[in-house]
Amino acid sequence: MGEYNVVVYTSDSCIHCTKVLELLREWDISFTEKNISQNADFYKEMKEMGVYGAPVTFIDGQQVLGFQKRKLKKYLGIDEVSSYIRQRALSNQN
């Protein structure tokens, strides 16, 4: 899997934000989190891109609104086979 520029705009107490972050960690994807509840500049950035709610994930410029596992996988080049192989390899290490 290649390296991607991944930025996730999140907000406090947002279950869908938490789900996106958990998936990215599970898939071992590096990302930058920008919490709009804690930093007004991040909210302003997000609004300037025409987005008014979190979560929103940008993957090399591709926008994924909300929690959309299939779209995240698509833009990150993750397919079911590679996920299965990666999980098997991890379980064999334990």
In whole angstroms, what is the distance from residue 31 CA to residue 91 CA?
24
Task: Look up the pTM and report it.
Answer: 0.81
Fold annotation for 6-93: Glutaredoxin (3.40.30)
Q: What would the pLDDT profile of 39-64 be if each residue is shown by its tens digit?
A: 999 999 999 999 999 999 999 999 99
Q: How many Cα atoms within 13 Å fall on the side-chain side of residue 73?
A: 10
Q: Where are the domains of the chain?
A: 6-93
Q: What percent of the chain has pLDDT over 90?
A: 79
